[in-house]
Each structure stands twice: as structure tokens, then as C-alpha cells.
Structure 1
């Protein structure tokens, strides 16, 4: 056995050295392409600018253009790498390519926890997804090696009482007692990462691996089993990340998002995985983690900076991957692991609300990027990539502002033949090269749109175009997605710029569960988008007063902002999304070829989510079986404290109903076993015309 272990360790070291050399070459190649292309574009911009970079404004434009162009170029070449690798049959250095199928299938599984942290999520909808994963593993015959944990941070009693009731119902329905667990933290510290850390401190040593799911995550049994087997074969891998596909889109917005994700991510994920290799990022969900390594090396200390950069780390996943890499473990993204799914926010407003939270966490990475010790360069670049996802918007806005300043100077102000910084006896003559400007603009747009058409070509080559509705419908769907993306880009720019400024000023932010069904009303759309609409209209009017050419140049940004409210409303409509689906537009393969875990989740969500006549708090008091369940999960508060704190709350709730208590008071009450028993007794003894009497009468009518 010792000889076998030594051979495995030697093989692992050789693999690590081999992929690192390949990764270095690929990253160097990417750097040459990106930097070379950016320098060329900057050279053309210098000759487009009237003073060729001879003024402070033009130097500012040049710096901003270089940063933004480089950001776009990285994405472009990542997609090109992915296209070429898929053309050659895939990346032969990926984890899946290292092991033959039969070798993996023969690998025994290790004990694994499947955890789902939740916070004020739609309870039935969320746990129906977990139920589908459970059933898929049961069908696969591998359920014995897995245990499930629902980790709740919910604070609203109506939510967490419903979570407890639904969990109990699932345990009975699935026969999952002793395999499906529920735990709610009473002290909510450090967001999701604190929730997971609390689980690991209590139960982490019980398992070798954990699979992390979000509330909207779905993973097939085959994928989960294959992930565990890969981790068993690769002892140096600390985190293995899948590339989730977006599914279950109903609104037009969600359908556009899931179509673009499903079609384009094939190239981007393949290219990204090939460049990052064992230094990949962790996205926080739909991944498997080696628990001991994670517990030993990925604890997150609070930031010690100022403002936003002080306190708990909100966006934990990229940082945990960096710490895992620092400890000598590998982090891999494996696009070949299919049947990994998540869901998109249903509306633009919901996406922007989510981005408001995410932007703060990603901007915190600036501190870790600058002051984190012994982090690998690849992980520092991943942190920078996360920062730029939001910082690019205010940089673009600043570029537009400087462009406007340049137009004002050239139109209104007297031409300065000796601008600041210019030295010499001869004047600096402003020059205009409109044909160069047009060529530069077209080349920039090509970086954005060529990968989309490469994705069409990739689908045709690999025979998957028919799964998107056929080549013609696929092509029209891509054109429709391009139109929507052009309309959304300026709206996101304005919103993200506001979020970045708010984050840097450390303005307060509340965290809430994600809406998954509601459409956007006209009133909400105008309230949200009116500032951007007014700014865009004013900017265009000003541009027209300056110069008709500058006005035309402003329209691609101004028109989407002016139309932001109707765009937001239209994209939120489920009817519009379903109409396009009926016509065969914006289809994804999972809508044409059934996937069992998706079918199970949809069926569970359809069949069980009937609204109750009672709230979860009322049902916990009135229904005998539920009351006994919540008593069993509650604790016994000491008598002295009960008499002082809880007895008055019981009396008030018993006479006036739960509306007479605050959320915090209700939580205290429903965490106490004796209070629950007393409330149940008071409710059933209450007169028929009292609050609880009316609740019981209403319950009887609906049974």
C-alpha cells in the first residue's frame, strides 16, 4: 500500500509540473495577443484624437481606452482559445481527459455532504430543487455516500418556520430521516461564508468532501458522482468547479440570459479553463471542495482597512480559491462536467439589485489583491477580473465624460495651438481622421460580436445547432440577443457606476432574498430608471447643440437609456418570453432534450406549492402536528428568563395575534419550546370571535 501511495504522489507531482508549464505558455500567449492588440488600438486612437494625445484630456481618454480595450480583448481571445480547443477535440490537459471513463467509474466514492445555504428564499421552490437532486442520486444507486444539509440564515419567523415544516415534510416523503438535515443559525455572522464555516466547525470532520449548492442550483447525480471520483483520483485538487448553465427562464429577460449563457459559455468556459488550468476561480456554488484542506487553509479573516475594506469579506469564493492555491492545492474549472444548472433573475431590476450586492464584495477584492500575501499571480488576476466586472462601468462613464469635454473644447473653445504639455516653436495643429475613428470603432465592436458568431459556427460544427432550434432560428436568436445586449449595456453601465460609487463611499446596503417570479411594473421601472433617462436626454440635447456629428455619436448610448423603463418592463414579461419559445426562438438544448433532474424539480414545484390560508407563524401555533415539530426543534429557555422576557410576549400574542409582536419578538417566542406549547393551548381555547378563533375557523373551512 505504501508503494502505491508513493507512486500516486509521484504521478501527482509530475502532473502538477506538466500543467503549470502548459499554463505558463498559454498565459504568455494570451498576454502577447491582448497587449499587442491593445497597443495597436491605442496607436490608432492617438491618430484619431485631434491633438494626438497632446492634452491632459486626451491622455485621460487614452488611459481609459487602453484599460477598457484590454478588458474586452481578454474576453475575445478567451473565446477564440475555446473555439480552437473544441475544434481540436478539447483540452487534453483537462482533468477529465487524464482518466479513462472505466477507470473513473471503478473509483469508489467517499463520504460527501451536499450543502445548501439559504437566506429568505422561496421555501417550497428552493427545497423542491434539493428534493430533485436527492431523488436523482437515489436512482443512481449512490445515495448511501451522500448526506444533505439545509443551512438557513433566515431571520423572518414566517420564513424559517416554513423551512422547518417543509424540511420535515421532505424527510417523511423521501424517507430521508438521518440523511437530510436542517440547521438554522441563531446568530447571523459573516454572510454565506460564515454559514458554511459554522457547518464545517460542527460537522465538517464527518465528511471528506462537500458539494455546495445555491438556492437555485441543480446538479445531476452523474455529475456529482463524477466530481467525487475525480477528487478521489486527484489528491492535489482542493476545489473542482463546474460551469453551470442557466435554465428555467420564463420571462423574456431570463430567456435571453439563459440562451446567451448556454450558447456562448461553451467557448468562454473552455477557453477560461484552458488558461487558468489548476489556478481557476471558485464561483461559490455547483462545485465540490476537499473539506480538510478548506478548513485548514481557507478561513477568512476580517479586512482591516477602512470603509468598504473593513469587516467581513462579502464575496468569499474567489478569495477561498486564492487561499487554496496559496496552500499548494489546485483549483480546476471543468466544463466537461455537464448537467450543472442555476437560474437567472427574472427581470432586469432583480439582476441590478443582485449586482448591487455583488459589486461591493468584488470591490473588496482590491484590498486582497493589493495586500494579500503569497497569492499566486493567476489568482490575483482572477481577483482583478472580478473587480473589473463592475469597475469597467465607471471607467466607461468617465470615458464618455472626457469625450464630451473634448467635443466641447473643439466646438466651443478657441483652438489651442500650444496645449498644456506641448513644447516647441511650432504650433500643434488639430487633425481629424473620421475614417480612422470609424475603423477603430468597428474593430472594438468586432471584439464583442465575433465570439457570438464563433459560437454559432461551433454549434454547427459539433452538430448542436438543431438543439437550439436549427441554424436559421439559432442565427435569428443571436441577432435578437445582440439587440437586447446593446439596449442593456448603457443601463448596466449607469447602474453599476452608481453601485461602485456607493460602495466606495461605504453607503449602507440591506441583503434580501431574490425575487424569482414577479414582473416589473411601469411605476417601478420609471422610479428606478428615471435618473438615467433624464441624464441621457439631457446629454443628447447638449450633444445636438454642440455638433450634429457628436449627437449621432451619442445615440448608441443615449437611446437605450431613454428607453430604459419600457425595456425593463417588456423584458420582464413572461408572455413575451413564452411567445418566442413557441416560435422556436431563444431555445436551449435542455428544453428539447429532457434532463431528469430538471423534470423532477419542475414537477415538484408545480405539484406542491399551493398557498396556505395561514401564515407559517399561524400554522405553527394552530396545527397540532406542526406545533409539536417546532417544539422538538426549539430549545428550553431558563425559567427566570422566561418569566421576565417571554411570558409577556406569549400573553400578548395569545390575545392579539402575531401582528402585535415585532419580528425579533416572534423569533424569541418561537425558539422557546414552552412558549410554543402555551400558544397552542391559548389558541385552541380562544373564543370563536377572537383572532385565533377566526384562524381556526378559517382552517376548518379549507379542509
Structure 2
């Protein structure tokens, strides 16, 4: 384009109609960081309703008491299996590891039995929904970090329009709060936002803000919004970049929050949708079929001490800002610094302050997407693993409810259980090899009339194995039975026989994938213990494929462990090899499994056969269809988005972008940002906008876009001509 003078830029910008800011007027509020070392019960609020925060103790006794009895029985049985003769050190180690891993699965078993009966009841007679008009205001927050803008803005439009059709649109404002660091994506976000405002901005309040520095990641992003704009709103409805929620669900959440003055947070149980690869379809099928039973059981016994999973939940702004400000943990990452898995901690702090936290297991219409491959799942779980292990620094915080501590421990054990299972396999293998190859000491130094034989009760061991499998698979079986009993769900999932085949396929593939994920989680735990930070990478949502060479590299250790276990078991006995074969098979087949489960082609073929089908595929959710229909418009708008050169040179784009730049925080004198200083120097030495942009790296370009002075200096280069170039 032709160069224009800097003064002309400003003259044109001033002549244009006023450009609306990306955000509303700020209304600052306090959100102090909470102390984990001290808490006074006097600071806990008193419930408005007599039983506003009261939970039913008998529910805990029933579920956790049953789990405890099962654990005691199982541990005692294992002791009896090993204690036929005098127990050795290795046998004691086996007993310890078995105790930890077995006790871990009994709670899900007990809770799923309760959940099974409640799910049957809810499907026969769904709970009534309130129709009371809303009085409060809700801010719907869509945090994003280097995600596809067309997906985000299409979903915002679909949800906002659906809510507007109910007549309650004025009760909701919609915010895209960006932490994007890629300058190209940041520019397309702005183009998507302009398209959103042009399409629905006259009837719906939609806003956009990109932070200059993404301090504390998603938790810091939401906290920044609360401190600057949160006081405008009664509630926050927090979504994720891949979230969708039906209008009826959003309205019901807001109505429940208004009807219960003691509710601090209400969490839905999201359903996975839009899975195309086989891995995504496996997760989608499992959460749709088994998830309701497990989730309903959890919601039932945790009662008013539920949990928060970071998105698809509504939060009372007062409760969140007064009680859930996160402190930084002492020390450096991975155990110190910002709290990564902020959601569990925020729920615990809200409950500590005297608010209830509820899991609304009866609410449908809440959706999200899932990683498309094992590799993507591993990348996400690496970050989650670090965040959950950080909770070891939080679980002892003063004043937390014991159920909140249980949630934190559950998060920790969800990753520690993998190395514990791996250690149990290895120690069991050592025990077998010891009995096979090492000469036993039949007579110890102590006087005894009888030798110390290395014996085990084989029959009892077999019984315990089958009992453990029952404990492990009961949640799946109950979920499947409850699903199979519902005629509508059964027909929408392909009918009786396809549903049976889908169940078998899911069980087999999950059994093969489980040992690989066990090794992945074990490696993540080891990495964290060695002090490695996870970083923060954007998540892939669609394509999960990788080149074969990359898959071999990523799964090399998984195959190595499989080969080692195969050789060790073979030289012991074929019986031991047969017992270990379910775990070994998955490890040896790690590469082809990873390739098949991440393939769009294989996933599409399985979908065509009607396997792993969910009701959302038979009857596509209206909100999803609306998003897909709308997405085309945003893809077109984004395709015409300017690059940084045009943004800085074109008077209109220049003025529009300045209106969207977030407010600069004050900088203490003498504290200079090295990236900002370097970018300023590069701009100063350039003779044109295009030359300056070519000097700037990606991080510097992103900072220029977020800094009015730097962006103005870049635009100033458009006035230079060969005659006045330095």
C-alpha cells in the first residue's frame, strides 16, 4: 500500500467515527491473595439459610465407609496370600504398594453404585427447571491462549444468540479474555472480534481484551478481569476455549445461583463432543456412557463440598474475589511459583470461607472437546500432573474442609497411582524372579524346627485378582447397564448390538492404552521430581497425527519397558508372561496404537460403522450446529485480517487497534523490560514499517501490538521518505 505520513494517519483517525473500546469502563475491586498458613474461623461467613452449607454426613459414611471396609478386606486378603510362610522384605513392599493402589479404586467403586441408582431415577423423571426471570448480571468469560479465533468467536455468537432468544440476553455480557502470545493469532483475534461486534454487537454486549503479560496463566487472566471489571457483575460463568453451553443450562445455572444465596460455585459435568480421531471417540464414548454414574456418585457424597474443574461453571463474584485469590507458592517451579491447577484450590478456598461448592450432576447441555491423540493427551497431562503435585503444598493449608483436602489428595493420587502401579508390577516381577533364580534361605539364623519356605496361597491370590477386577470395572459396567436400559440413548448410540460392540472395543483399547498412559504419567512424575517445569503450550483440538519417526521417538521408552518385561517374564515362566501380557501388549504396540488412535481416517471409518457412537452424533446439539454454521463467517473475516505492517500503516486499522490495546500497568522507575527495550531499539533503527517488522522476533511483535508507545513508534515510520531517512 502507499505510504502515508504519520500526521495524516492521525488526521484520518480523528476524522473517523468514534471507535468503541474493547472493554467496558473499569470498576476496580479487591481480590487479595489468601494465606495458606493461617485462617481464623471468625472470618468464615455465616450461611444465610440454616442448612445453606450443611452436608449430609451419612452420605460420607455410606460411600467412604464402604470403601474403607473394602480396602481393609482386600489388604488383609493380600496379606494372607503372602503370609503363608514368613514374609520377606519384598513381600512387605508388595503389600504396601497393593494397599495404596487398591484403596485408591474402592472410592470410585462405592460412589458409582450410588450414582447408578440416581442416574436411573434422573433419566426416568428429569428434575424440573426454574422459569423465574433473572435479576443479576453474569459475565461469561472465554479465556484463550493461542487458540483458533474462528472457533472462539463462532461459539460466543452461537451461545449469545441462543440466550438472547430466551429473552434473558440483557442478563449476560460476553468476554473473550486473551493471553495469546503469537502476534499473528492476536491479529486474527482482533479481526474475529470486529466481525462479532458487527454481527451481534447492537443487541449483545461483547468485549475483548488481550493481556500484555500473561502472568499466572489462566488463573491470572481471570483474576485480572475480576480486579478490574468483576465488581460490575454478580456472577462469572467461566468457559474454556473449546467450551459450548446450551442456553437453558446457562440460565439454570444463573437461576440456581440467585435462588441459593449460600452457593459460591456450581460446576456442571461437561460432555465431550466433536471427536473425530479414534482416541477422541474413545474418550467421548467413555465420558458419555460411564461418566454420569461416576459423576453423579461424586456429586451425591461430596454434597456442599464439591469441586471445580476450571470451566463450564458459574461462580459468585463476591465469593471468588473475597476468598479465592491465589497466593504464589514459595520456591521455583515445578513445585513453587504460580499454582497451575488453580481450580481445585479455588474451590477449597471458597468452601473454607463459608460458601457451598456444588456439582450439578443433573444438568446436561454443557460441552467441551478432548485431545485427539495419546501424544496430545500426554502433553496436557504433563501440565496437569505438575499442577496436581503442587497440591502437596496446599493440602495442609489451614482451615480447609476435610472433603476439600480429599479432592486435593485425589488429584495428587490420580498421577501418583501410575508410578505406584508400575512399582507394583516391577516388585511383583522381582518377587517371581527371586523365587525362580535365587536360592532361598530355608533356615534363618534364628533357631526354628521348620524351614522358611517362600510360599504364597495361589488359590487365594486368584480370588483376590478377580475381586480387584470387579472393583476396577464396576463403574464402567454400571454406567453401561444404566445407558443400555434407556431406550432413547440406546437407539441414538446405534442400537443394542452396536452398543455392545462399542463397549467391548472401548474396554479392549482402553486396556491396551492404560499401560502406556501409566508409563507417560510415571515419566511426568519423575520429570517433576527432578525439577523440570511443564511450560505452557497451546492444545491441539482437531488433528492428532504425527510422522512415524516422531511417534517412534516419543514412545521409545514405552516399547523398551515392554521388551524388558517380556524377556524377564519369559525367562521366569510362561505363566508369568501370560499374567503380564495385558500390560506388556500395550507397551509393545505403543507406536501402532498411537498411530491408529490419532488417525482421522481410522476415526472416520469407525464412525461410519456406527461404533463408539454417542447421542450427540445422532442428534447434533443445536448449539453445536449453530456454531458450525456461524464459523464460516468468521473464517472469511479472519482471512482478510491485516498483518502487522498493514495494521501499523493503514489509518483505520491503526485507530481500531489502538482502541483495543489493553491499559498499560505502571512501571516502576528503573525497571526496564529487556524485550521492550530491544523492540524499541529495532524500531528506531528501521527506515520503514516493513523493515522494522522484519527485525522483530515473534515475542517482540506481540509486545509491540500490546504497547501503545511502541505501536505508535512503528506506525510513525510510515511518514519516512527517502529524503528524510537517517
Distance change >3 Å, CA 222–CA 419, structure 1 → 2: farther
Which of 382, 406, 412 is the equivalent residue of 1:381?
A: 406
Structure 1 segment 618-637 matched on structure 2, within 5 A? 618-621=645-648, 625-634=652-661
1:67 aligns with 2:92: no
Bigger helix share: 1
Partner of 1:581: 607
- Aligned partners of 1:634 and 1:673 also within 8 Å: yes
Q: Does 1:80 align with 2:107?
A: no
Per the alignment, residue 162 of structure 1 pairs with: 188
Query: How far apart, CA to CA, are the structure 2 residues paired with 1:470 and 1:667?
Result: 52
What's the counterpart of residue 425 of structure 2? 400
Selected match of 2:451 from 403, 411, 427: 427
* 2:287 equivalent to 1:253: no
Q: Structure 1 residues 423 and 241 mapped into 2: Cα distance closer, same or farther (>3 Å)? A: farther
Report whether the alignment pairs 1:353 with 2:379.
yes
Cα distance change on mapping 1:530 and 1:619 into 2, 3 Å: farther
Residue 73 of structure 2 is aligned with which of 40, 52, 68?
40
Structure 1 residues 27 and 53: alpha-carbon distance in aligned structure 2, compared to 1, 3 A threshold: farther
- In structure 2, what is the Cα distance between the partners aligned to 1:403 and 1:386? 26
593-602 or 608-617, which deviates more: 608-617
Question: In structure 1, what is the equivalent of residue 484 of structure 2?
Answer: 460
CA distance in structure 2 between the partners assigned to 1:133 and 1:426 by the alignment: 76
Gaps of 5+ in 1: 1-8, 688-703
Q: Give me the whole-angstrom Cα distance separating, in 1, the residues matched to 2:681 and 2:527.
A: 44
Further displaced range: 391-400 or 504-513: 504-513
Would the aligned equivalents of 1:136 and 1:596 in 2 still touch at CA under 8 Å? no
Contact persistence 1:51–1:428 (CA under 8 A): no
Does 1:445 pair with 2:480? no
Alpha carbons of 1:25 and 1:634: their partners in 2 closer, same or farther (altered >3 Å)?
Answer: closer
How many pairs align? 665
Report which stretch shifted further, 182-191 or 329-338. Answer: 182-191
Name the CA shift for 1:479/1:207 in 2 (closer, same or farther; >3 Å).
same
1:262 aligns with 2:299: no
1-structure distance, mates of 2:539, 2:447? 58
Q: Does 1:654 align with 2:689?
A: yes
Match of residue 500 from structure 1: 525
Q: How does 1:357-376 map to 2 (within 5 A)?
A: 357-369=383-395, 371-376=396-401
Structure 2 counterparts to residues 473-488 of structure 1, below 5 A: 473-488=498-513
Equivalent residue for 1:149? 175
CA contact (8 A) 1:649 1:669 kept: no
- Mapped partners of 2:405, 2:490: distance in 1: 37
8 Å contact from structure 1 (residues 52, 58) kept in 2: no
Residue in 1 aligned with 2:18? Answer: none
What SS is found at the alignment partner of 1:211?
strand
Aligned equivalents of 1:615 and 1:198: distance in 2? 28
Alignment of 1:48-127 (within 5 A): 48-49=81-82, 54-89=87-122, 101=129, 104-127=130-153
CA contact (8 A) 2:683 2:713 kept: no
Structure-1 separation of matches of 2:275 and 2:424: 35
Residues 284 and 595 of structure 1: CA distance in aligned 2, closer, same or farther (over 3 Å): same
> Per-residue displacement from partner, 1:152-184 (whole Å, max 9, x unpaired)?
112221222221221122111212587111112
Distance 2:203 2:122 in 1: 45
Q: Structure 1 stretch 36-45 or stretch 649-658: which is displaced more?
A: 649-658
Spell out the pairing of 1:593-672 with structure 2 (5 A cutoff).
Answer: 593-609=619-635, 612=639, 616-621=643-648, 625-634=652-661, 646=680, 648-649=682-683, 651=686, 654=689, 656=691, 658-672=693-707
- Which stretch of structure 1 is more off in the superposition, 137-146 or 157-166? 157-166
SS of the equivalent of 1:126 reads helix
1:30 aligns to 2:60 (yes or no): no
Structure 1 residue 248 displacement after superposition: 0.6
Is the 2:645–2:689 Cα contact (8 Å) retained in structure 1?
no
2:227 and 2:408 mapped to 1: Cα distance?
Answer: 27
**Counterpart of 1:276?**
302
Q: Match of 2:220?
A: 194
Distance change (3 Å), C-alpha of 1:250 and 1:657: farther
Determine which of 304, 307, 322 is the counterpart of 2:330.
304
Instruction: Supply the distance in 2 between the matched residues of 1:155 and 1:201 (Cα, whole angstroms).
Output: 22
Output the CA distance in 2 between the equivalents of 1:359 and 1:488. 18
Q: 1:260 Cα deviation (Å)?
A: 0.7
1:567 aligns with one of 593, 603, 609: 593
2:542 to 493, 513, 517: 517
* Contact 2:682–2:692, Cα closer than 8 Å, also in 1: no
C-alpha contact (below 8 Å) 2:333/2:533 kept by paired residues: no
- The alpha-carbon deviation at position 604 of structure 1 amounts to 2.6
1:264 CA displacement: 0.8
**Structure 1 position 431, deviation (Å):** 2.4
Contact kept? 1:85, 1:91, Cα under 8 Å: no
TM-score, normalized by length of structure 1?
0.88
Alignment RMSD: 2.9
How far, CA to CA, are the matches of 1:575 and 1:643 in structure 2?
49
Which 5+ residue runs of structure 2 have no aligned equivalent? 1-45, 667-671
User: 1:278 deviation in Å?
Assistant: 0.6
Equivalent pair of 2:144/2:180 in contact (CA under 8 Å): yes
**Residues 663 and 33 (structure 1), Cα distance of their counterparts in 2 relative to 1, 3 Å cut:** same
Equivalent pair of 2:280/2:370 in contact (CA under 8 Å): yes
